[in-house]
């Protein structure tokens, strides 16, 4: 049960960032790797290269995002889909990433990632669950560098990227990208495939689908997206009470 609880928290992180990512390091000013430089990545088509170049440009001015979300979690073994709704807030804070998620349906929850720590507050049971990212920080941040503000050509360091055409979502023309972790990437152990619908001109993802080897998948839809509108810092603070029970997980 304990391991399942940890996995649930990490999965929340993955969905928050897993595509919900920032380019928060000083690499934003560095020149991207040349196309085809990765030996285990297939050649990049001119159309895909253009999409990645637009993402590179948009990422330079990316500071924060807030959006409404709807997450569909499909579990194959029981053939069931669970739906969560809420709001997502992400911001750069120096060289760090800070994120706040407010889940409003089916049950209220608040999740904050800050200072390399995940904190999840469940007001219905007045419980705060905390976990230090620790040695998993690199893996968590690799997911956080997906979805919002990621430099396009940086994807080639960890993924094989394929252009799968264009689709219009909520009136926005999006590039449909299919990602698979490179042979040397630990991402392949968690996700067999990732589909990503991105507006390359603004470097924001309107839809994301993550497939696990088990056949389970998570489909995320984002709407009412606001870029670089500094969110209230209250979203990055836990609204617990003086009687809140705190559970620290290792």
Dump pLDDT digits (tens) for 191-234: 889 999 999 999 999 999 999 899 999 999 999 999 998 888 88
Dump pLDDT digits (tens) for 144-201: 667 788 889 988 888 899 999 999 999 999 999 999 988 766 677 778 899 999 999 9
Residue 205 lies in a domain: yes
**Measuring CA to CA, which residue among 67, 108, 79 is closest to residue 221?**
67
Sign of the CA dihedral with 43 first, then 46, 47, and 49 last = positive
d(CA 66, CA 236): 12
DSSP assignment string, the chain: -HHHHHHHHHHHHHHHHSS-B---SGGGGSPPPPTT-STTSPPPPHHHHHHHHHHHHHHTT--EEEEEEEEEEEEGGGTEEEEEEEEEEEEEETTEEEEEEEEEESS-EEEEEETTEEEEEETTTTEEEEEE-GGGHHHHHHHHTSBBS--GGGGGGTEEEEEEEEEEETTEEEEEEEEEE-TT-THHHH-SEEEEEEETTTTEEEEEEEE-TTS-EEEEEEEEEEES----GGGGS----TT-EEEEE-
Average pLDDT, the chain: 80
Pick from 6-15, 91-100, 127-136, 228-237: least confident: 6-15
Q: Which residues, in sequence order, are bridge partners of residue 83?
A: 72
Give the tokens for residue 147: 């979805």
CATH number of the domain to which 203 belongs: 2.50.20.10
Report yes or no: 63 and 204 within 8 Å, Cβ to Cβ.
Answer: no
d(CA 157, CA 187): 12
pLDDT at 186: 66
Q: What is the pairing mode between strands 217-227 and 159-169?
A: unpaired
Report yes or no: 175 and 55 within 8 Å, Cβ to Cβ.
Answer: no
pLDDT of residue 32 exceeding 80, the answer is: no
Sign of the CA dihedral with 38 first, then 39, 40, and 42 last = positive
Domain containing 157: what range?
2-27+37-249
Residue 8 lies in a domain: yes
pLDDT at 117: 85
The count of domains in the chain is 1
Residue 32 lies in a domain: no
**Measuring CA to CA, which residue among 230, 9, 247, 217 is closest to residue 113?**
9
For the entire predicted model, the pTM comes to 0.80
């Amino acid at each position: 049960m304990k391991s399942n609880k940890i996995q649930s928290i990490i999965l929340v992180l993955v969905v928050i960032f897993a595509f919900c990512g920032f380019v928060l390091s000083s690499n934003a000013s560095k020149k991207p790797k040349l196309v085809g430089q990765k030996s285990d990545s297939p050649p990049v088509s001119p159309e895909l290269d253009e999409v990645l170049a637009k993402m590179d440009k948009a990422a330079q001015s990316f500071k924060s995002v807030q959006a409404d979300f709807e997450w569909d979690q499909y579990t194959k073994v029981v053939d069931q889909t669970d739906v969560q709704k809420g709001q997502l807030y992400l911001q750069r804070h120096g060289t760090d990433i800070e994120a706040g998620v407010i889940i409003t349906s089916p049950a209220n929850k608040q999740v904050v990632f800050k200072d390399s720590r995940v904190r999840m507050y469940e007001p219905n049971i007045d419980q705060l669950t905390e976990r230090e990212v620790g040695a998993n920080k690199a893996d968590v941040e690799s997911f956080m560098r997906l979805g919002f503000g990621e430099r396009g050509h940086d994807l080639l360091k960890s993924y094989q990227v394929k252009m799968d055409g264009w689709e219009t979502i909520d009136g926005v023309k999006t590039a449909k990208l299919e990602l698979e972790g490179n042979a040397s990437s630990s991402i392949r152990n968690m996700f067999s495939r990732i589909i990503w619908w991105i507006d390359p001109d603004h470097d924001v993802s309107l839809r994301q689908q993550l497939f696990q080897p088990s056949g389970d998948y998570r489909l995320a839809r984002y709407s009412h997206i606001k870029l670089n509108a500094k969110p209230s810092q209250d979203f990055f603070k836990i609204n617990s009470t003086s009687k809140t029970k705190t559970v620290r997980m290792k």
